[in-house]
Structure 1
Amino acid sequence: MTKIKLCGLRRPEDVAMVNREMPDFAGFVFAKGRRQVTLEAARALRKQLDPKIRAVGVFVKAPVEKVAALANEGTIQCIQLHGDEDGDYIRTLRWRTKAPIIKVIRVKDRVSLADLDRWDCEYFLLDTFAGSQFGGGGKTFDHSLLRQVKFPKPFFLAGGLDPENVAEAIRECAPYGVDISSGIETAGYKDEEKIRAFVRAVRKEEEP
């Protein structure tokens, strides 16, 4: 079954919508941007989130101590590194927490997907390269780049997914999971109809 990760939750209303659809993962963004949440907000939202849904903290070059503390206190269950954190950063993080790590790979070309063995993580998340931005901006990368890549770890597929194209993306790429944020928003806010449509599209694709 393809896992579902809905990212960018920042309001109690967002959590309520997500709880009704029960994805596998929900993301709280701690990096700067319009979806950023404070530590206090994340703690409050985690308490409202269904405990069966794993909370993922999304970070860009955040202090290791902050990231590990959030994981060790239970506010998040997984750590997503969305910046250019290197091997030394991850080794230090491993020393401080046992939380699973999702390492984001920003895909521009085949070179972007080289030497994946060097990363000490549980999962990859493949997002679209967007220059200096740490995030794909809702744009899709060339999925054909994945055809000849042997992934040493399971991967989440992100970048430009929406309820209309996610089933085809799953068939083409066979990811461990799919990740979405802007594709389930209207005017910058989470849209329950789009959330429901996305989840149903993924789960319908899994039906025998």
Structure 2
Amino acid sequence: MTHVKICGITNLKDAEDALGFGADAIGFVFAKSPRQISLNEAKKISKKVGPWITTVGVFVNERIQNILRIASECHLSVIQLHGDEAPPSLYSLRPYRIIKTFRIAEKKDFLKTKGYEADAYLFDTKTPDSYGGTGKSFDWSLIRTSRVPKPCIVSGGLNPDNVKAVIKMLSPYGVDVSSGVETRPGKKDAKLVKMFIQNAKQK
């Protein structure tokens, strides 16, 4: 069954709603973003949800020592590199599990995955002015025609109305949503979160 990550969590209620509806992971954005979470808030949420929940920290071109410090203080399960990080940086982050994001506009963008020894690849929409969270989609069928050597997580423009079709088309390891289940940046809509997870998990 496809895993579901609800990203851009900024408060405890949204985290508890997502997990209560069956999300497999929640994501904290530590990079500058409308969904950026403070270190203290991330610590509070991680402590409250407990050690058995998968918590993902999203970083963009952050210094390795800062990533490791935040990951330790917030008890993160997974580190997601969402910027232009070079392949060697991944080795410095072990033993954490690592997701590497690649921004896609055309098929040749998949060539950028070469050399990245991540545990999973996340594919998001390439836009000139943002590293993600735009709600814009790309041609997801490009994933199907590209030979992706790692577990694949689909992102970019997903919402409750299209997630089931995307999963049917690609059978990805996971799907990642942020703006598609929000009332405004950083605030999730519980009804949309529930619907997204139900549709993603529906056989």
Alignment TM class, shorter chain as reference: over 0.9
Q: TM-score, normalised by structure 1?
A: 0.92
Hey, what's the Cα distance between the residues in 2 that align with 1:37 and 1:73? Answer: 14
Bigger RCO of structures 1 and 2 (CA < 8 A, at least 6 apart): 2
Residue of structure 1 aligned with 2:114, choices 114, 117, 123: 117
The answer on 1:133 being equivalent to 2:130 is yes
Change (3 A) 1:74 1:13: closer
Please name the residue that 1:35 is paired with.
35
Give the match's secondary structure for 2:68.
helix
Please name the residue that 2:61 is paired with.
61
Hey, what's the Cα distance between the residues in 2 that align with 1:69 and 1:47? Answer: 16
Once the two structures are TM-superposed, the CA of residue 164 in structure 1 deviates from its matched residue by 0.6
| Bigger mean CA offset, 59-68 vs 156-165 | 59-68
Hey, what's the Cα distance between the residues in 1 that align with 2:12 and 2:127? Answer: 30
Q: Which amino acid in 1 is paired with 2:193?
A: I
Q: Which amino acid in 1 is paired with 2:188?
A: K
Q: Which amino acid in 2 is paired with 1:99?
A: Y
Please name the residue that 2:195 is paired with.
197
Count how many residue pairs are aligned between Structure 1 and Structure 2: 202
Contact 1:15 1:48 in 2 (8 A): no
| Bigger mean CA offset, 83-92 vs 161-170 | 83-92
The answer on 1:7 being equivalent to 2:7 is yes
Once the two structures are TM-superposed, the CA of residue 136 in structure 1 deviates from its matched residue by 4.8
Question: Cα deviations across residues 106-164 of structure 1 (Å, max 9, x unaligned)?
Answer: 00111100153311100000000011311151011011212221111101000000001
Give the match's secondary structure for 1:114.
helix
The answer on 1:187 being equivalent to 2:172 is no
5+ residue gaps, structure 1, are: none
Residue of structure 1 aligned with 2:139, choices 137, 142, 167: 142
Of all paired residues, the percent bearing the same amino acid is: 37
Q: 1:172-183 residue pairs with structure 2 within 5 A?
A: 172-183=169-180
5+ residue gaps, structure 2, are: none
Once the two structures are TM-superposed, the CA of residue 16 in structure 1 deviates from its matched residue by 2.2
Once the two structures are TM-superposed, the CA of residue 31 in structure 1 deviates from its matched residue by 0.3
Once the two structures are TM-superposed, the CA of residue 74 in structure 1 deviates from its matched residue by 5.5
Please name the residue that 1:85 is paired with.
85
Please name the residue that 1:159 is paired with.
156
Contact 2:133 2:179 in 1 (8 A): no
Hey, what's the Cα distance between the residues in 1 that align with 2:53 and 2:142? Answer: 31
Give the match's secondary structure for 1:34.
coil
Q: Which amino acid in 1 is paired with 2:25?
A: F
Give the match's secondary structure for 1:156.
strand
Contact 1:161 1:183 in 2 (8 A): yes
Please name the residue that 2:75 is paired with.
75
Hey, what's the Cα distance between the residues in 2 that align with 1:145 and 1:187? Answer: 30
Please name the residue that 2:47 is paired with.
47
